[in-house]
Amino acid sequence: MEASNPEHQFVLQVQRLLRDGPLQNAEEGAICAAALSRQRLWEEALQLLVKNEFLKETAGLNAGINACRAGFQWELALHLAAEASATWDAVTYSMLLAACSRGSSWELALEFLRNAAHVGFARLSHVSSAAASACGRASAWAAALALAARDRDEAVLAAAIDACRRAQQWEAALALFGTLKSSGHRSAAGAGAAVSALAHGSRWEEALHLFESEFQLQEAMNPGIRGFAAALQACAAGGHWQIALSFLEEIERRQLPPDKRCFDIALSAYRKMPTLVEGGWTSPQWREGAVLTLSRRRCDCAPV
Protein backbone atom coordinates (compact mmCIF):
# COMPACT_ATOMS: atom_id res chain seq x y z
CA MET A 1 0.00 0.00 0.00
CA GLU A 2 1.30 3.44 -0.88
CA ALA A 3 1.80 5.82 2.02
CA SER A 4 -0.16 8.53 0.14
CA ASN A 5 -3.14 6.22 -0.42
CA PRO A 6 -6.16 7.54 1.58
CA GLU A 7 -7.29 3.99 2.34
CA HIS A 8 -3.83 3.20 3.73
CA GLN A 9 -3.88 6.32 5.87
CA PHE A 10 -7.27 5.35 7.27
CA VAL A 11 -6.04 1.84 8.05
CA LEU A 12 -3.11 3.35 9.97
CA GLN A 13 -5.57 5.42 12.01
CA VAL A 14 -7.62 2.31 12.76
CA GLN A 15 -4.49 0.48 13.89
CA ARG A 16 -3.68 3.35 16.23
CA LEU A 17 -7.20 3.15 17.65
CA LEU A 18 -6.64 -0.53 18.35
CA ARG A 19 -3.63 0.37 20.46
CA ASP A 20 -4.84 3.54 22.14
CA GLY A 21 -8.45 3.13 23.12
CA PRO A 22 -12.02 1.87 22.54
CA LEU A 23 -14.30 3.01 19.76
CA GLN A 24 -17.63 4.69 20.42
CA ASN A 25 -20.18 2.23 18.97
CA ALA A 26 -20.66 -0.87 16.80
CA GLU A 27 -21.36 1.17 13.66
CA GLU A 28 -18.03 2.98 14.02
CA GLY A 29 -16.32 -0.33 14.70
CA ALA A 30 -17.91 -1.89 11.61
CA ILE A 31 -16.56 0.90 9.39
CA CYS A 32 -13.05 0.47 10.79
CA ALA A 33 -13.22 -3.34 10.51
CA ALA A 34 -14.38 -3.06 6.89
CA ALA A 35 -11.36 -0.88 6.07
CA LEU A 36 -9.03 -3.46 7.61
CA SER A 37 -10.79 -6.32 5.80
CA ARG A 38 -10.39 -4.60 2.43
CA GLN A 39 -6.64 -4.65 3.03
CA ARG A 40 -6.75 -8.36 3.95
CA LEU A 41 -6.09 -7.50 7.61
CA TRP A 42 -8.99 -9.69 8.69
CA GLU A 43 -7.39 -10.85 11.96
CA GLU A 44 -6.90 -7.25 13.08
CA ALA A 45 -10.50 -6.50 12.10
CA LEU A 46 -11.75 -9.36 14.29
CA GLN A 47 -9.46 -8.25 17.13
CA LEU A 48 -11.02 -4.78 16.97
CA LEU A 49 -14.55 -6.16 17.11
CA VAL A 50 -13.84 -8.65 19.91
CA LYS A 51 -11.90 -6.13 22.02
CA ASN A 52 -14.80 -3.66 21.91
CA GLU A 53 -17.51 -6.36 22.29
CA PHE A 54 -19.15 -5.25 19.05
CA LEU A 55 -20.01 -8.81 18.01
CA LYS A 56 -22.98 -8.57 20.37
CA GLU A 57 -24.65 -6.14 17.94
CA THR A 58 -25.86 -6.80 14.41
CA ALA A 59 -23.55 -4.26 12.73
CA GLY A 60 -20.54 -5.70 14.54
CA LEU A 61 -21.51 -9.30 13.78
CA ASN A 62 -21.88 -8.51 10.08
CA ALA A 63 -18.47 -6.81 10.10
CA GLY A 64 -16.99 -9.90 11.78
CA ILE A 65 -18.45 -12.26 9.18
CA ASN A 66 -17.15 -9.95 6.45
CA ALA A 67 -13.66 -10.09 8.01
CA CYS A 68 -13.79 -13.89 7.96
CA ARG A 69 -14.79 -13.81 4.31
CA ALA A 70 -11.84 -11.53 3.54
CA GLY A 71 -9.57 -14.14 5.13
CA PHE A 72 -11.35 -17.07 3.42
CA GLN A 73 -12.27 -18.38 6.88
CA TRP A 74 -15.77 -19.60 6.11
CA GLU A 75 -15.95 -22.03 9.04
CA LEU A 76 -14.98 -19.26 11.44
CA ALA A 77 -17.71 -17.04 9.95
CA LEU A 78 -20.32 -19.71 10.67
CA HIS A 79 -18.94 -20.19 14.19
CA LEU A 80 -19.14 -16.44 14.91
CA ALA A 81 -22.76 -16.34 13.82
CA ALA A 82 -23.67 -19.42 15.86
CA GLU A 83 -22.09 -18.05 19.03
CA ALA A 84 -23.21 -14.42 18.69
CA SER A 85 -26.19 -13.10 20.60
CA ALA A 86 -26.82 -10.37 18.03
CA THR A 87 -29.98 -10.37 15.91
CA TRP A 88 -29.46 -11.50 12.33
CA ASP A 89 -30.65 -9.22 9.54
CA ALA A 90 -30.85 -9.73 5.75
CA VAL A 91 -27.17 -8.79 5.38
CA THR A 92 -26.22 -11.44 7.94
CA TYR A 93 -28.11 -14.13 6.07
CA SER A 94 -26.68 -13.17 2.67
CA MET A 95 -23.09 -13.19 4.04
CA LEU A 96 -23.61 -16.52 5.80
CA LEU A 97 -24.96 -17.97 2.57
CA ALA A 98 -21.86 -16.65 0.81
CA ALA A 99 -19.77 -18.41 3.47
CA CYS A 100 -21.65 -21.63 2.72
CA SER A 101 -20.86 -21.06 -0.93
CA ARG A 102 -17.15 -20.85 -0.15
CA GLY A 103 -17.35 -24.13 1.71
CA SER A 104 -19.66 -25.83 -0.80
CA SER A 105 -22.13 -26.48 2.03
CA TRP A 106 -25.34 -26.32 0.07
CA GLU A 107 -27.44 -28.25 2.61
CA LEU A 108 -26.50 -25.71 5.29
CA ALA A 109 -27.24 -22.90 2.82
CA LEU A 110 -30.76 -24.22 2.30
CA GLU A 111 -31.21 -24.47 6.07
CA PHE A 112 -30.20 -20.81 6.41
CA LEU A 113 -32.64 -19.95 3.63
CA ARG A 114 -35.46 -21.73 5.48
CA ASN A 115 -34.57 -19.76 8.62
CA ALA A 116 -34.53 -16.55 6.59
CA ALA A 117 -38.01 -17.38 5.31
CA HIS A 118 -39.34 -17.49 8.89
CA VAL A 119 -38.27 -13.89 9.45
CA GLY A 120 -39.26 -12.59 6.02
CA PHE A 121 -35.85 -12.31 4.34
CA ALA A 122 -35.86 -15.30 1.99
CA ARG A 123 -37.51 -13.44 -0.90
CA LEU A 124 -34.88 -10.70 -0.94
CA SER A 125 -32.81 -10.97 -4.10
CA HIS A 126 -29.37 -11.01 -2.50
CA VAL A 127 -30.43 -13.69 0.00
CA SER A 128 -31.99 -16.08 -2.53
CA SER A 129 -29.22 -15.59 -5.10
CA ALA A 130 -26.58 -16.29 -2.45
CA ALA A 131 -28.35 -19.58 -1.68
CA ALA A 132 -28.45 -20.51 -5.38
CA SER A 133 -24.76 -19.67 -5.66
CA ALA A 134 -23.96 -21.94 -2.70
CA CYS A 135 -25.84 -24.76 -4.41
CA GLY A 136 -23.92 -24.10 -7.61
CA ARG A 137 -20.50 -24.28 -5.99
CA ALA A 138 -21.45 -27.66 -4.55
CA SER A 139 -22.72 -28.85 -7.97
CA ALA A 140 -26.20 -29.17 -6.45
CA TRP A 141 -27.70 -27.74 -9.60
CA ALA A 142 -31.11 -29.36 -9.07
CA ALA A 143 -31.49 -27.45 -5.80
CA ALA A 144 -30.52 -24.23 -7.59
CA LEU A 145 -33.15 -24.96 -10.26
CA ALA A 146 -35.78 -25.37 -7.55
CA LEU A 147 -34.85 -21.97 -6.11
CA ALA A 148 -35.07 -20.40 -9.57
CA ALA A 149 -38.49 -21.97 -10.15
CA ARG A 150 -39.73 -20.50 -6.86
CA ASP A 151 -38.19 -17.06 -7.31
CA ARG A 152 -37.91 -15.70 -10.86
CA ASP A 153 -35.73 -12.79 -9.71
CA GLU A 154 -32.93 -11.78 -12.15
CA ALA A 155 -30.10 -12.40 -9.66
CA VAL A 156 -31.51 -15.79 -8.61
CA LEU A 157 -31.89 -16.94 -12.22
CA ALA A 158 -28.34 -15.80 -13.01
CA ALA A 159 -26.99 -17.72 -10.01
CA ALA A 160 -28.95 -20.83 -11.04
CA ILE A 161 -27.55 -20.58 -14.60
CA ASP A 162 -24.06 -20.49 -13.10
CA ALA A 163 -24.95 -23.53 -10.96
CA CYS A 164 -25.87 -25.43 -14.13
CA ARG A 165 -22.65 -24.27 -15.74
CA ARG A 166 -20.59 -25.64 -12.84
CA ALA A 167 -22.42 -28.98 -13.12
CA GLN A 168 -21.85 -29.03 -16.92
CA GLN A 169 -25.60 -28.97 -17.54
CA TRP A 170 -25.57 -26.66 -20.53
CA GLU A 171 -29.09 -27.58 -21.70
CA ALA A 172 -30.55 -26.58 -18.34
CA ALA A 173 -28.44 -23.41 -18.34
CA LEU A 174 -29.80 -22.40 -21.75
CA ALA A 175 -33.37 -23.15 -20.68
CA LEU A 176 -32.94 -20.91 -17.64
CA PHE A 177 -31.37 -18.19 -19.76
CA GLY A 178 -34.42 -18.35 -22.03
CA THR A 179 -36.63 -17.92 -18.97
CA LEU A 180 -34.52 -14.96 -17.90
CA LYS A 181 -34.89 -13.25 -21.27
CA SER A 182 -38.59 -14.02 -21.66
CA SER A 183 -39.25 -12.35 -18.32
CA GLY A 184 -37.84 -9.13 -19.73
CA HIS A 185 -34.62 -9.15 -17.67
CA ARG A 186 -31.20 -8.43 -19.14
CA SER A 187 -28.44 -9.86 -17.00
CA ALA A 188 -24.75 -9.70 -17.87
CA ALA A 189 -24.02 -12.30 -15.17
CA GLY A 190 -26.68 -14.67 -16.53
CA ALA A 191 -25.56 -14.26 -20.13
CA GLY A 192 -21.92 -14.79 -19.17
CA ALA A 193 -22.79 -17.93 -17.23
CA ALA A 194 -24.76 -19.26 -20.21
CA VAL A 195 -21.80 -18.60 -22.54
CA SER A 196 -19.50 -20.40 -20.11
CA ALA A 197 -21.93 -23.33 -19.80
CA LEU A 198 -21.91 -23.79 -23.58
CA ALA A 199 -18.12 -23.52 -23.72
CA HIS A 200 -17.66 -26.13 -21.00
CA GLY A 201 -20.21 -28.33 -22.76
CA SER A 202 -18.11 -28.38 -25.95
CA ARG A 203 -20.62 -26.10 -27.68
CA TRP A 204 -18.05 -23.41 -28.39
CA GLU A 205 -19.63 -22.17 -31.66
CA GLU A 206 -22.95 -21.58 -29.92
CA ALA A 207 -21.09 -19.96 -27.03
CA LEU A 208 -19.37 -17.42 -29.28
CA HIS A 209 -22.65 -16.74 -31.12
CA LEU A 210 -24.42 -16.08 -27.81
CA PHE A 211 -21.59 -13.81 -26.64
CA GLU A 212 -21.85 -11.80 -29.86
CA SER A 213 -25.63 -11.50 -29.68
CA GLU A 214 -25.67 -10.46 -26.02
CA PHE A 215 -22.51 -8.39 -25.68
CA GLN A 216 -21.24 -7.19 -29.07
CA LEU A 217 -24.29 -5.91 -30.91
CA GLN A 218 -25.46 -2.30 -30.75
CA GLU A 219 -26.76 -1.27 -27.30
CA ALA A 220 -25.57 -4.60 -25.89
CA MET A 221 -24.64 -5.19 -22.26
CA ASN A 222 -21.15 -4.81 -20.86
CA PRO A 223 -19.79 -8.34 -20.35
CA GLY A 224 -17.26 -7.37 -17.71
CA ILE A 225 -14.13 -9.41 -17.14
CA ARG A 226 -16.11 -12.57 -16.27
CA GLY A 227 -18.08 -12.39 -19.51
CA PHE A 228 -14.87 -12.07 -21.50
CA ALA A 229 -13.42 -15.02 -19.57
CA ALA A 230 -16.40 -17.12 -20.69
CA ALA A 231 -15.89 -16.10 -24.32
CA LEU A 232 -12.17 -16.87 -24.07
CA GLN A 233 -13.08 -20.31 -22.72
CA ALA A 234 -15.10 -20.90 -25.88
CA CYS A 235 -12.09 -19.82 -27.96
CA ALA A 236 -9.91 -22.28 -26.07
CA ALA A 237 -12.41 -25.09 -26.61
CA GLY A 238 -12.42 -24.41 -30.36
CA GLY A 239 -8.69 -23.60 -30.61
CA HIS A 240 -9.43 -20.09 -31.93
CA TRP A 241 -6.26 -18.22 -31.05
CA GLN A 242 -6.99 -15.21 -33.29
CA ILE A 243 -10.44 -14.59 -31.78
CA ALA A 244 -8.99 -14.99 -28.27
CA LEU A 245 -6.36 -12.38 -29.07
CA SER A 246 -9.04 -9.97 -30.30
CA PHE A 247 -10.93 -10.44 -27.02
CA LEU A 248 -7.77 -9.65 -25.03
CA GLU A 249 -7.33 -6.48 -27.08
CA GLU A 250 -10.97 -5.56 -26.42
CA ILE A 251 -10.45 -6.07 -22.67
CA GLU A 252 -7.51 -3.67 -22.83
CA ARG A 253 -9.43 -1.17 -24.97
CA ARG A 254 -12.26 -1.10 -22.43
CA GLN A 255 -9.70 -0.59 -19.64
CA LEU A 256 -11.09 -3.48 -17.63
CA PRO A 257 -8.95 -4.61 -14.68
CA PRO A 258 -6.47 -7.25 -15.90
CA ASP A 259 -7.24 -10.82 -14.91
CA LYS A 260 -4.61 -13.56 -14.90
CA ARG A 261 -7.29 -16.14 -15.66
CA CYS A 262 -8.07 -14.54 -19.04
CA PHE A 263 -4.43 -14.84 -20.11
CA ASP A 264 -4.33 -18.44 -18.88
CA ILE A 265 -7.34 -19.30 -21.06
CA ALA A 266 -5.91 -17.43 -24.05
CA LEU A 267 -2.67 -19.39 -23.69
CA SER A 268 -4.74 -22.57 -23.70
CA ALA A 269 -6.27 -21.50 -27.02
CA TYR A 270 -2.81 -20.70 -28.34
CA ARG A 271 -1.47 -24.14 -27.49
CA LYS A 272 -4.18 -25.78 -29.58
CA MET A 273 -3.08 -23.89 -32.70
CA PRO A 274 -1.04 -25.86 -35.26
CA THR A 275 2.69 -25.13 -35.38
CA LEU A 276 2.39 -23.84 -38.94
CA VAL A 277 -0.68 -22.45 -40.64
CA GLU A 278 -0.81 -22.89 -44.39
CA GLY A 279 -0.67 -19.47 -46.00
CA GLY A 280 1.96 -18.27 -43.56
CA TRP A 281 0.03 -15.93 -41.26
CA THR A 282 2.21 -17.18 -38.43
CA SER A 283 5.55 -18.87 -37.84
CA PRO A 284 7.27 -20.71 -34.98
CA GLN A 285 9.30 -17.58 -34.19
CA TRP A 286 6.21 -15.38 -34.09
CA ARG A 287 4.42 -17.93 -31.93
CA GLU A 288 7.30 -18.06 -29.48
CA GLY A 289 7.34 -14.28 -29.14
CA ALA A 290 3.56 -14.14 -28.74
CA VAL A 291 3.43 -16.71 -25.98
CA LEU A 292 6.29 -15.00 -24.12
CA THR A 293 4.41 -11.70 -24.32
CA LEU A 294 1.21 -13.32 -23.06
CA SER A 295 3.04 -15.06 -20.21
CA ARG A 296 4.66 -11.80 -19.15
CA ARG A 297 1.34 -9.95 -19.24
CA ARG A 298 -0.29 -12.78 -17.31
CA CYS A 299 2.29 -12.53 -14.50
CA ASP A 300 1.50 -8.83 -14.09
CA CYS A 301 -2.16 -9.62 -13.37
CA ALA A 302 -3.94 -10.56 -10.18
CA PRO A 303 -6.91 -12.95 -10.40
CA VAL A 304 -10.33 -11.57 -9.53
Residue ranges covered by each domain of the chain: 186-304
Predicted confidence (pLDDT) per residue in 104-160, tens digit? 677 888 888 888 888 888 667 778 888 888 887 777 788 888 888 887 778 888 888
What is the model's pLDDT at position 226?
A: 84
CA-closest candidate to residue 100, choices 129, 135, 125: 135
* Cβ contact 147:160 at 8 Å: yes
Query: What residues in the chain have per-residue pLDDT under 50?
Result: 1-3, 275-289, 302-304
**Start-end of H helices in the chain:** 6-20, 26-38, 42-51, 58-70, 74-83, 90-102, 106-118, 125-137, 141-150, 154-166, 170-182, 188-200, 204-211, 224-238, 241-253, 260-271, 284-299
Q: Which residues contact 230 (CB under 8 A, 6 or more apart)?
A: 192, 193, 195, 196, 199, 207, 211, 223
DSSP secondary structure of 274-293: -SS-TT-S--HHHHHHHHHH
pTM of the complete model: 0.66
Residue type, 201: G
